[in-house]
Amino acid sequence: MPRSKKRSSRGGQHGAVQPFSDEDASIETLSHCSSFSDAMSVAEEGGEAGEETAQEDLQYKLKVFIDSTVDKSAKTRQGALDGLKAAMATRILYEFISDRRMTITDSIERCLKKGKGQEQCAAASLACLLCIQLGSGIESEEVFKTLKPIFKNILLDGTANIQARQACATSLGLCTLVAEDDILDVYATMESFESLFMRSYVKEDGSRPSLNPQTTLLHTNALLSWALLLTICTGSQLKAVTHKHLSKLPRLLENDDVNMRIAAGETIALLFELARDMDPEFEYDDWEPLCDKLNSLATDCNKHRAKTDKRKQRSVFRDVLKAVEERNFQTETIRFSTERMTIDSWVRKRTYDAFREFVGSGMNYHLQANEFIRDVFELGPPVLVDAATLKSMKISRFERHLYNAAAFKARTKARNKFRDKRVDVGEF
């Protein structure tokens, strides 16, 4: 993220070992490094001594994974990459990683260049997690300067593995947000994304390009990464982007792929939000046709589309329509430990979704302990909570059941206001 170079916005302080959610496995198999959960149980039972032992065990296993990323066996390399990914996604490892960042970077570079398919995808994801751990500063910039040319080469190489190109499209976007120190380089990366997703635009003669599903997914990932970088653009760049793309993006709403339609809809909502933040009187010439199209997608009942696709599409486009028509955003509250974070804008939502894609179930832990992510979402320094306080906050299973039932009932009532009961007739 373009900002002053400082070490203080690192991934977080080196804390106690946190549990994995993966299945237990031995080190030799290198399958997703889930045996760290055993170390955590030792720490809990043995107090400080157990915690120290678990920490040493954790570091030993991580060193094994790092060494194994250069193994001759592709399966072993894949397992090592997955092990490092699982570790970085579910705990803060700044102190350990900082001293070994260039070694890990070299391994990622080697896997991206010489690996194939899934190995390249795992390496690209690991690069993002490494930047998230290091935070926005000189250390992550060094990592990104090494990997950025490789990301771009794979992304723009039409002969490269399509899954690798898809992974690079997503990883390049988040790494640029975290580690790019020059806003002009951010714009250059955005142009690389534009060169891809613009190929899905309707042609001048009105015809739609014929693309296979994998290529469409590549364009979707490029569009989402491009939208992510929009959130850090300057006002002048946003004006240029709005003028160039806002009239063309609605055509992607006609795409046959539901994920592309959703990505286009969310990007349109994001552009409207950013444009209105700059100019409260912002007006769009084709506003009414756009609202009609969004409304049709929010109430879509075409028989040739999968029922799950229609359900997901309706939910998203109801929110997009509100954003365009009424300037409203469906607020979401994220709870973690004793804190809460509100997702109250499309900018915040796009940023949150991008981080969550890589850390997955570890997102709440990173919101709680990762100094960099807390800085991004303006949460302040990490809040320290002792075990006794956490235990006192826990509610019984019966109380949790009552709360979930009440929340479900309220959610159903709210959704029923927007549902047309007729759309489900004859769909079984």
Same domain, 187 and 296: yes
Which backbone phi and psi does 10 adopt, to 5 degrees?
-70, 180
pLDDT of 375 strictly over 50: yes
| Residue 341 CB-half CA count within 13 A | 22
- Predicted confidence (pLDDT) at residue 258 exceeds the cutoff of 50: yes
- Co-location of 225 and 164 in the same domain: no
Query: What are the pLDDT digits (tens) for 116-166?
Result: 999 999 999 999 999 999 999 999 999 999 999 999 999 999 999 999 999
Is residue 126 within 8 Å of 44, Cβ to Cβ? no
Percent of the chain with pLDDT over 70: 82
Q: What is the pLDDT of residue 302?
A: 72
| Average pLDDT, integer, range 38-46 | 44
Instruction: Tell me 231's DSSP state.
Output: T
164 domain residue, yes or no = yes
Burial degree of 324 (CB within 10 A; 0-12, 13-18, 19+): buried
The structure tokens 């032992």 sit at: 53
Which residues touch 265 (CB under 8 Å, ≥6 apart)?
A: 253, 294, 297, 316, 317, 320
Residue 39 lies in a domain: no
Q: Which of 300, 328, 356 is the last residue of a domain?
A: 328
What is the overall mean pLDDT for the chain?
84
Alpha helices in 180-212 (DSSP H): 183-197
**Largest CA-CA distance found in the chain, in angstroms, rounded:** 72
* For residues 287-309, average pLDDT: 84
pLDDT higher than threshold 70 for residue 79 = yes
What is the reported pLDDT for 17?
33
- CA 20 to chain CA mean position, Å: 20
Query: Do 112 and 157 fall within a single domain?
Result: yes
Residue 63 reports pLDDT greater than 50 = yes
**pLDDT greater than 90 at residue 34:** no
pLDDT of residue 357: 95
Please tell me the distance from the alpha carbon of residue 423 to that of residue 300, in angstroms, as a whole number: 8
Whether 206 is in a domain gets the answer: yes
Local confidence band at 394 (pLDDT 50, 70, 90 cut-offs): low
Residue 409 has which token pair? 């009932």
pLDDT higher than threshold 50 for residue 390: no
415 pLDDT band, cuts 50/70/90, is confident
Beta strand pairing call for 332-336 and 339-343: antiparallel
**Which of 111, 146, 178 corresponds to the end of one domain?**
178
Instruction: Supply the pLDDT for residue 395.
Output: 61
pLDDT band at 388 (very low <50, low <70, confident <90, very high): low
Q: Which residue in the block uniquely carries the two structure tokens 């977080």?
A: 12
Residue 267 near residue 249, CB atoms below 8 Å: yes
Q: What is the mean pLDDT of the segment spanning 169-186? A: 96
Residue 174 forms part of a structural domain = yes
Does residue 125 sit in the same domain as residue 199? no
The arithmetic mean of pLDDT across residues 223-251, rounded, is 94
Q: What is the tally of structural domains in the chain?
A: 2
| Distances from the Cα of 49 to the Cα of 46, 95, 104, 305, angstroms | 6, 20, 29, 58
* Cβ atoms of residues 17 and 54 within 8 Å: yes
Rounded-to-integer distance, Cα 407 and Cα 139, Å:
44
pTM of the model: 0.81
Residues 190 and 159 in one domain: no
Is pLDDT of 35 > 70?
A: no
Q: Are 180 and 233 in contact (CB under 8 A)?
A: no
* Beta-carbon contacts of residue 10 (< 8 Å; ≥ 6 apart): 94, 98, 133, 134, 135, 137, 139, 371, 372
What is the reported pLDDT for 383?
A: 83
Q: Are residues 270 and 320 part of one domain?
A: yes
pLDDT at residue 1, as a whole number: 58
Element (H, E) at 221: helix 213-230
In a shared domain, residues 222 and 321: yes
Residue at 312 is within a domain: yes
Q: Which of 328, 351, 370 is the last residue of a domain?
A: 328
**Confidence band of 90 (pLDDT split at 50, 70, 90):** very high
* Between 337 and 274, the higher pLDDT residue: 274
Q: Is the pLDDT of residue 416 over 60?
A: yes
Answer yes or no: is 7 within a domain.
no
Shared domain for 193 and 296, answered yes or no, is yes
Phi/psi at 381 (5° precision) = -65, 155
Is 364 in a helix, a strand, or coil? Answer: helix
Residue identified by tokens 């714009």 is 187
Quick check: is 245 in a domain? yes
307 shares its domain with 189: yes
When pLDDT is averaged across residues 85-95 and rounded to a whole number, the result is 94
At residue 401, the pLDDT reads 74
The band of 14, judged by pLDDT with boundaries at 50, 70 and 90, is very low
What CATH number corresponds to the domain at position 144?
A: 1.25.10.10
Structural domain including 122 reads 57-178
What is the structure's pLDDT at 2? 58
∠ CA 265-269-275, rounded to 5°: 140
DSSP for 119-188 reads HHHHHHHHHHHHHHHH-SSHHHHHHHHHHHHHHHHHHH-TTS-HHHHHHHHHHHHHHHHHH---HHHHHH
